[in-house]
Amino acid sequence: MSIEKQETYAELELLLRQLSVWVKAEGRKVIKEGNYDITPSQFDVLQRIYFGETSMTNLALRLGVAKSTITGLVGKIKEHGYVSYSVCEEDHRVRKLEMTPKGLGLIRDVLERRVQFIRKLFSTIDPFLVEEFRKVLRIVNNTVQIQYQDKEETKE
Amino acid sequence: MSIEKQETYAELELLLRQLSVWVKAEGRKVIKEGNYDITPSQFDVLQRIYFGETSMTNLALRLGVAKSTITGLVGKIKEHGYVSYSVCEEDHRVRKLEMTPKGLGLIRDVLERRVQFIRKLFSTIDPFLVEEFRKVLRIVNNTVQIQYQDKEETKE
């Protein structure tokens, strides 16, 4: 591969990484400004639960901390009303972690803040270019999704 | 704003967020595959130190954990030889946190893995489109940088 091309990919990696850091920081402003009683680590856990990860073992794995740490973090966000336990209809011994309206509201506010930030950044750019940008992102995300799916299928 | 445009920004936010999660996961494979003795939380700290954040207070603020937690994490990565303390020439009481060659090697391997992942994803896309994509990313990153700079200047 030519040096020029290699530099292009290195630049893309850097630009994507920086943008992602900024969007994340912007979204998390909601926590501070809304005076939410949740720390960044607790928010990380809440976000994972929102996206469907409810087992303690998987939460610990994904966030790379001890299971006891996760138990503590979940305890805190439960105490502050962001999540709750529901009892399984079929088996009353099974408890399932669920988002409360307060938890859902926070996550949605953060996502909305991120979208508004993206809007502010992209709204001054030539719509044709934005469309090309979206096209590339769609292709790239599709490629990853297909790869992940292949791997999952290979497992079986 | 039209509904269509609002949906475009929501889609861009989602696509950028997903891509960033995948790139991050790909980079961190280096830790597992290289049998590095570092947990994800410890790696988060190492990464911050690599990008110039060496004060315990700022590390705690940035990662949203207690200062005592940071002290523990830094202790672990120091113990495993990823960082070390250097004594300040001017004032021997001042100690500065520094990356060791082992720490630098790990961060660079992770970054390189991310770049190679980006290369794999983008190399099949029409070079003209990739160029347009890079152009948009450059504009967007510039916009954020100018905004951040403005805020910094307003502070003074």
Q: How many domains does chain B have?
A: 2
Q: Which backbone phi and psi does B84 adopt, to 5 degrees?
A: -145, 165
Residues of chain A contacting B76 with CB distance shorter than 8 Å: none
pLDDT above 50 for B155: no
- Please report the number of interchain residue pairs, chain A to chain B, with beta-carbon separation below 8 angstroms: 144
A25 and A97 housed in the same domain = yes
B85 and B70 housed in the same domain = yes
Residue of B7, B9, B48, B108 to mutate when probing chain A, most A C-beta within 10 A:
B9
- pLDDT on residue B19: 96
B70 and B131 housed in the same domain = no
Question: Measured between CA atoms, how close is A102 to chain B, in angstroms?
Answer: 21
For residue A95, the tally of other CB atoms under 10 A from its CB is: 13
A60 and A14 housed in the same domain = yes
- pLDDT on residue B156: 42
Domain membership of residue B143 as a residue range: 125-156
Give the DSSP H or E segment for A10.
helix A3-33
- pLDDT on residue B87: 75
Q: What is the pTM of this model?
A: 0.87
CB-CB under 8 Å, B22 with A19: no
Question: Measured between CA atoms, how close is A88 to chain B, in angstroms?
Answer: 31
- pLDDT on residue B152: 56
A43 and A23 housed in the same domain = yes
For residue A118, the tally of other CB atoms under 10 A from its CB is: 23
Question: Measured between CA atoms, how close is B93 to chain A, in angstroms?
Answer: 33
B24 and B65 housed in the same domain = yes
Looking at chain B, which residue has its C-alpha nearest residue A122?
B140
A116 and A137 housed in the same domain = no
B103 and B26 housed in the same domain = yes
Q: Which of A 87-146 lie inside 8 A of B, CB atoms?
A: 111, 114-116, 118-119, 121-122, 124-125, 129-130, 132-141, 143-144
In tens digits, chain A (156 residues) has pLDDT values of 566 778 899 999 999 999 999 999 999 999 989 989 998 889 999 999 999 888 888 888 877 778 888 899 999 999 999 999 887 777 777 778 899 999 999 999 999 999 999 999 999 999 999 999 999 999 999 999 888 776 655 544
Q: For residue B14, what is the domain's CATH number?
A: 1.10.10.10
B113 and B137 housed in the same domain = no
CB-CB under 8 Å, A129 with B6: no
Q: Report the residue from A6, A130, A137 with minimal CB separation from B19.
A: A137
A113 and A131 housed in the same domain = no
B52 and B24 housed in the same domain = yes
B138 and B110 housed in the same domain = no
Among the listed residues B148, B123, B65, the one whose alpha carbon sits nearest the alpha carbon of residue A139: B123
Q: B25-58 pLDDT, tens per residue?
A: 999 999 989 989 998 889 999 999 999 888 888 8
CB-count burial class (<10 Å; 0-12, 13-18, 19+) for B53: middle
What is the rounded distance in angstroms from the CA atom of residue A65 to the CA atom of residue A3?
39
Q: Report the residue from A1, A5, A122 with minimal CB separation from B12.
A: A122
Amino acid, single-letter form, for residue A119: R
Give whichever of B49-53, B137-141, B151-155 has the largest mean pLDDT: B137-141
